[in-house]
Amino acid sequence: MSTINRLSSVDVLQPSDQIPVWDSSNGDTRKASMSTLLAFVESYFADPDYSTRIVAPNTDYFTVDIGATGDSIWMIVNPTFNFANGTITLPPATSAVNDQEITVVFTAAVSTFVITSSGATVLGAPVSINGYDSFRVRYNAAQLTWYTLDTTGDGSGAGGVSQIIRQDFTGNGTTTIFTLTTAPSALGNELQIFIDGVYQERSGYTVTGSNIIFSEAPPSLSTIEVLGWSVSIGAETTSDLVSYTLGATGSVLTTVQAKLRESVSVKDFGAVGDGVTDDYLAIRAAIDSLPAYGGSVLFPTTPSGGVYRLSQTLIINRPVVLSGDIITASPFLFYTGTVLKFDAGITGIIFNSYDSPGGDLAYGANYCVVENLGVASASLGAGGGAFDGLYIRAPGIVLNNVWTWHFPRDGIHIQADTVDGHSNANLWQATNISTQFNGGNGFYVEGNNANAGLGQRINSSNNGGWGIYDAGQLGDTYIACHVDSNVLGPYKTITANGSHVFLGCYWEPFGPKSDLVTPSIMIGGLASSVGGVEESSTGLVINAAGATNAPITYLNYRNAETIGSSVGKPDTTMAAFTFGANSESVNLNSWKLIFDTTYNVWALEYANNATFTPIRYPNSASALYTNKGSTGPVMQNGYAVMNVGDAVSSAKVRLLNSAAPVTGTFEQGDIVYNNAPTAGGFIGWVCVTGGTPGTWKTFGAISA
């Protein structure tokens, strides 16, 4: 065998280089290539789940190809010098296996660094690396992605999650124990030891505490290099290097940075939320950070609170979602949950359409969503002025679980009219709303372009105006709303062609009345209670009648311009049933059909004068007599009571019979018509003397 000389510092090992090996079967030393020995070690000694590789690129723009393997690998890249460019090619998707890990350690710096994989994505890998820094990646087969688990910082441990610690010793041919500055237990994974660049198997040394004890002393003047992981507790990394997956079927891999950027928190911009610090600029910056087409802004609560004070009106010109933590349902705990508290004398939030005054011509605040937020004013409902909690002049605004209170004018003010530049506030939606203690109306709608809105479960109480006031032109719908203790009254509509519908809405049965105009409709709720609706109201109110016997009551009040009901198709001829009048007034032009239980009679009467009955239909002969005093004719089975004068005594009974009565009490002038007349007979009999049955004479001779 040739003489073995020491490698110089500039020598570079090649896979074909020869290494002496003692062959125990022959009792002599023989040579074997490095590649042959590496294959032998990996096959017989290395952990098949975590193999070690060493490469030594010696030119710039080098490429290290790990190759098609499913093994987890510890790779030490030992470049000859610091290089400007380099590439590591990870195993391709065709051979990589799920959860396979590759750890790569560099002993020299590479300024521009690329990591690739055929058929797979590499996510979060470093783009440059320092000497004795490293990175670790893991493969996700479902996503065809290598994602970075951790990287080192600059080699000093200041900026990384973990790093490689290197310690060098020089052998003297006799020393077998070398002491580390850091015990291996603090270094994390197993040590990697090289003597003059040759990897040492674990069987050649032991580790006790911080001491490495070799079974044979390293040669004199040999370089002993010890590498190990150092995990820095509390060390930092950037969120774009940390992967995230939901873990559910079909979920995709992303980074923590991308996940966090799905929404914006006002806390990201320095908002405090203690109710004292002015958070306006922070909140403004959070909203302005969103793209022009919008996004979500979170207003979190914290142990220190969730009341954000704002010194200026918050103007929204883009479609955003403003989302807080759920607010309490208690009317007495106004400052729990997330609350935006505005200084006195200003409006809270304004939502502009793209062409509203001050709006964004590109988008506007169309279809914004406000949820789980309280909006309050320091004005405490006083001071006057047109300052509202929410001023909406953009279409499609959605309010869900929102409270407003203590503003000088309206809690919620929706207004859009083409004549004053407030372009469009149609299709608004308000659900689970509480608006209280405002100086004006609790909930207010106005304008010819504020239509087709839907209000559900709105609670409006203790406001200085109306509970719900809708002056919209075409009509809105309210379902299951409640109002209470508002100064001007519960519900009000004023537009003559606004078809507003109130379903199941009610108010406490005291205080001012509701005032609804035609064609507003109110169905259900407490509307039919005595005094519930102003007498001047002209809207249609249909409700369960409460204490009366009628299951359905159609209430319409005096001075209505038109009233009426019909069944069947109205036509130029008589419909199946028509009942109505031009006005409900003392002119007695409206009719009602009732059953009088006192006299057992159906009566058609004028609605506003119970003492004047045009016609009655008794259901028995005895009822015929008790109804003699009727102001109109009484009809029953061929019998009639006809009244030709104003006095009750002038009412005359008209009967049909084949003979004069022999029972019953009659008055002078009562007549019985002969229902079986014959030639030479008589038309009937007339009572000439009242009595029981009285005196009767024939009249009206019939020719023979």
In angstroms, the CA 236 to CA 232 distance is 9
pLDDT of 593 over the 80 cut: no
Going by the DSSP 8-state scheme, the letter that residue 282 receives in this structure is H
Ordered DSSP codes for 40-51 = HHHHHTSBTTEE
Q: Which pLDDT belongs to residue 259?
A: 81
Give me the phi and psi of 36, to 5 degrees please: -65, -45
Which tokens belong to 224? Answer: 């002993």
Judge whether residue 530 has pLDDT over 50: no
A 10 A CB-CB count for 669 gives 14
CB 242 within 8 A of CB 256: yes
Tell me how far the alpha carbon of residue 19 is from its chain's centroid.
Answer: 71
In whole angstroms, what separates CA 360 from the centre of its chain? 24
Is the confidence at residue 264, as pLDDT, over 80? yes
CA proximity to 392, closest of 345, 432, 425, 435: 425
What residues form DSSP beta bridges with 641? 634, 653
Q: Which range (232-241, 277-286, 485-494, 506-515) has the least confidence?
A: 232-241
Residue 479, class by beta-carbon neighbours within 10 Å (0-12 exposed, 13-18 middle, 19+ buried)?
A: middle
Q: Please state the rounded mean pLDDT for residues 190-195.
A: 76
pLDDT at residue 578, rounded to an integer: 43
State the pLDDT at residue 276.
92
Kindly state the tokens that stand for 442.
Answer: 């609790």
d(CA 14, CA 57): 10
For residue 200, the model assigns a pLDDT of 83
Alpha-carbon gap, residue 116 to 83, rounded angstroms: 18
Confidence of residue 2 (pLDDT cuts 50, 70, 90): low
Q: Region 198-202: what's the mean pLDDT?
A: 81
Using 50, 70 and 90 to split pLDDT, how confident is the model at 256?
confident
Residue 136 neighbours by CB distance under 10 Å = 19
Two structure tokens written together for 143: 């996503």
Distance of alpha carbon 212 from alpha carbon 187, whole angstroms: 14
pLDDT band at 697 (very low <50, low <70, confident <90, very high): very high
CB 390 within 8 A of CB 413: yes
φ, ψ dihedrals at 459, nearest 5°: -110, 120
**Comparing 496 with 95, which gets the higher pLDDT?**
95
Mean pLDDT in residue range 347-374:
83
Element (H, E) at 625: helix 621-626
Question: 689 forms bridges with which residues in the sheet?
Answer: 695
Instruction: Please state which of the four CATH numbers 2.160.20.10, 3.40.50.10680, 3.90.800.10, 1.10.260.40 is assigned to the domain occupying 265-561.
Output: 2.160.20.10
- Residues 41, 341: Cα–Cα separation, whole Å: 71
Query: What pLDDT, on the 0 to 100 scale, is given for residue 529?
Result: 46
Kindly list the domain boundaries of the chain, sorted by start residue: 162-231, 265-561, 584-701
Of 134-143, 144-153, 685-694, the poorest mean pLDDT is in: 144-153
Burial class (CB in 10 A: 0-12, 13-18, 19+), 663: exposed
Residue 556, both tokens: 């319409």
- Sign of the dihedral defined by the CA atoms of residues 323, 327, 332, 335, in that order: negative
Count Cα atoms within 13 angstroms, Cβ side, for 646.
0
- Of these ranges, 291-295, 358-362, 626-630, the one predicted with the greatest mean pLDDT is 291-295
For 554-577, what is the mean pLDDT?
A: 41
Region 567-572: mean pLDDT is 39
Task: Using pLDDT thresholds of 50, 70 and 90, give the confidence band for residue 561.
Answer: very low
**How confident is residue 322, by pLDDT bands cut at 50, 70 and 90?**
very high
As a residue count, the chain comes to 704
Six token digits for residue 295: 């996004």
pLDDT at 422: 58
Query: What is residue 310's predicted lDDT score, i.e. its pLDDT?
Result: 97
Higher pLDDT, 398 or 293: 398
Query: Which residues make beta-bridge pairs with 387?
Result: none
- Mean pLDDT calculated for residue range 280-288: 95
Range with lowest mean pLDDT among 83-87, 380-384, 495-499, 638-642: 638-642
The side-by-side arrangement of strands in the sheet containing 145-151 is: 50-55, 72-77, 101-106, 134-140, 145-151, 121-123
Percent of the chain residues topping a pLDDT of 70: 71
Q: Is the pLDDT of residue 405 over 60?
A: yes
Q: How far apart are CA 623 and CA 600, in angstroms?
A: 7
Q: What is the pLDDT of residue 587?
A: 42
Question: Phi/psi class of residue 368: alpha, beta or left (left: φ > 0; alpha: ψ in -120 to 50)?
Answer: beta
Give one word for 188, left, alpha or beta, with left for phi > 0 and alpha for psi -120 to 50. Answer: left
DSSP string across 288-338: HTS-TT-EEEEE--BTTB-EEEESS-EEE-S-EEEEEPPPPS-TT-TTSSS
Rounded Cα–Cα distance for residues 440 and 436 (Å): 10
Nearest Cα residue to 302 out of 265, 348, 353: 265
Q: pLDDT per residue over 58-88, tens digit each? A: 888 888 888 888 777 777 787 777 777 889 8
State the residue for tokens 């009088």.
596
H-type alpha helices, 198-275: 256-260
Q: What number is the average pLDDT over the span 544-561?
A: 41
CA–CA dist 443, 500 (Å, integer): 14
Q: Considering the chain, what percentage of its residues have pLDDT values greater than 90?
A: 31
Distance CA 297, CA 322 (A): 5
The DSSP secondary-structure symbol of 129 reads B
In terms of DSSP bridges, do strands 101-106 and 121-123 run parallel, antiparallel, or are they unpaired? unpaired
Task: Using alpha carbons, select from 509, 410, 520 the residue that is nearest to residue 466.
Answer: 410
- Average pLDDT in the 105-116 region? 83
User: Nearest-CA neighbor of 179 among 190, 167, 187?
Assistant: 167
Which residue has better confidence, 694 or 192? Answer: 694
DSSP of 478-535:
EES-EEES-SSEEEEE--TT---EEES-EE-SSSSPBB--TT-EEESTTTTSTT-B-T
- pLDDT at residue 564, rounded to an integer: 47
pLDDT of res. 648: 42
Once rounded to an integer, what is the mean pLDDT over residues 581-597? 53
Cα distance between residue 190 and residue 229, in whole Å = 8
Q: Give residues with Cβ within 8 angstroms of 404, minimum separation 6.
A: 348, 374, 375, 376, 389, 390, 411, 412, 433, 434, 435, 436, 438
φ, ψ dihedrals at 65, nearest 5°: -100, 115
Q: What pLDDT is stored for residue 186 in this prediction?
A: 41
Identify the band that residue 546 occupies on the pLDDT scale cut at 50, 70 and 90: very low
Residues 6+ apart with CB under 8 A from 426: 395, 396, 416, 449, 450, 451, 452, 453
Find out whether 298 and 273 touch, Cβ atoms under 8 Å. no
Half-sphere exposure of 368 (CA within 13 A, CB side): 28
Does the pTM surpass 0.85? The reply is no
What's the mean per-residue pLDDT of the chain? 77
| Contact in structure between 132 and 154 (CB atoms under 8 Å) | no
Residue 48: pLDDT band (50, 70, 90) is: very low
Radius of gyration (C-alpha) of the chain in whole angstroms: 48
pLDDT, residue 236, reads: 53
